[in-house]
Amino acid sequence: MTRLLEGIRVLDIGRYVAGPYCATLLGYFGAEVIRVERPRGGEDRYIAPLFTRDDGAPGEGGLFMQTACGKKSLTLNLSHPDGLEALKKLASQCDVICANLPPKALEKLGLDWRMLSKINPKAILVTQTGFGARGPDKDKGGFDGVAQAMSGAMYLSGAPDAPVKAGAPYADFTTAVFSALGVMAALMAREKTGEGQHVETTLLGTALAAMNSHLAEQAVTQINRAGTGNRVQTSGPSDVFATKDGHILVHTVGDGLFKRWTAMVERPELVDDPRLQGDQARGDARDELCAIMADWCKTRTTEDALAALAAAGVPSGPVLTMQEALDNPQAQAMAFFKPTHFPGLPREAPVADLPIDFSALDAGVSGRPPQLGEHTEEILKSIGYDDKTLAAMRKDSVI
Residues 297-353: tens digit of each pLDDT: 999 999 999 999 999 999 999 999 999 999 999 999 999 999 999 999 999 999 999
Whether 3 is covered by a domain: the verdict is no
74-124 per-position pLDDT tens digit: 999 999 999 999 999 999 999 999 999 989 999 999 999 999 999 999 999
- Compute the distance between CA of residue 148 and CA of residue 167 in angstroms, rounded to an integer: 11
Whether 1 is covered by a domain: the verdict is no
- Compute the distance between CA of residue 237 and CA of residue 314 in angstroms, rounded to an integer: 11
- Compute the distance between CA of residue 43 and CA of residue 60 in angstroms, rounded to an integer: 10
Average pLDDT over residues 163-175: 97
Burial of 7 (0-12, 13-18, 19+ CB in 10 A): exposed
- Compute the distance between CA of residue 395 and CA of residue 399 in angstroms, rounded to an integer: 8
- What is the per-residue pLDDT for 2? 79
Whether 215 is covered by a domain: the verdict is no
Which residues, in sequence order, are CB contacts of 100 under 8 Å at separation 6+? 14, 15, 16, 18, 19, 20, 22, 127, 128, 129
Closest C-alpha among 201, 196, 203, 228 to residue 214: 228
Helix (H, G, I), strand (E, B) or coil at 27: helix
Task: Specify whether 310 is located in the same domain as 346.
Answer: no
Task: Using the 3D structure, point to which of 263, 286, 318 is the last residue of a domain.
Answer: 318
Whether 87 is covered by a domain: the verdict is yes
Task: Specify whether 310 is located in the same domain as 338.
Answer: no
Amino acid at 281: A
- Compute the distance between CA of residue 399 and CA of residue 166 in angstroms, rounded to an integer: 39
Task: Specify whether 174 is located in the same domain as 35.
Answer: yes
Domain at 298, CATH number = 3.30.1540.10
Split into its structural domains, the chain has a count of 2
Task: Specify whether 197 is located in the same domain as 252.
Answer: no
Whether 325 is covered by a domain: the verdict is no
Task: Specify whether 114 is located in the same domain as 16.
Answer: yes
Task: Specify whether 385 is located in the same domain as 286.
Answer: no
Task: Specify whether 354 is located in the same domain as 313.
Answer: no
pTM of the model: 0.95
Domain at 181, CATH number = 3.40.50.10540
Whether 224 is covered by a domain: the verdict is no
Q: Which domain holds residue 119?
A: 9-210+333-395
- Compute the distance between CA of residue 358 and CA of residue 265 in angstroms, rounded to an integer: 40
Average pLDDT over residues 236-241: 98
Q: Is the peptide bond prior to 237 cis by the omega test (within 30 degrees of 0)? A: yes
4-59 per-position pLDDT tens digit: 999 999 999 999 999 999 999 999 999 999 999 999 999 999 999 999 999 999 99
Task: Using the 3D structure, point to which of 318, 348, 368 is the last residue of a domain.
Answer: 318
Task: Using the 3D structure, point to which of 276, 295, 318 is the last residue of a domain.
Answer: 318
Task: Specify whether 127 is located in the same domain as 267.
Answer: no
Confidence of residue 1 (pLDDT cuts 50, 70, 90): low
**Please, where are the H alpha helices in 41-199?**
62-67, 81-91, 103-109, 113-119, 144-150, 153-157, 170-193
Whether 373 is covered by a domain: the verdict is yes
Helix (H, G, I), strand (E, B) or coil at 352: strand
Task: Specify whether 193 is located in the same domain as 72.
Answer: yes
Whether 227 is covered by a domain: the verdict is no
- Compute the distance between CA of residue 145 and CA of residue 206 in angstroms, rounded to an integer: 12
Report whether 319 contacts 297 (CB < 8 A).
no
Amino acid at 48: A
Task: Specify whether 18 is located in the same domain as 127.
Answer: yes
Average pLDDT over residues 136-143: 93
Task: Specify whether 59 is located in the same domain as 133.
Answer: yes
Task: Specify whether 156 is located in the same domain as 290.
Answer: no
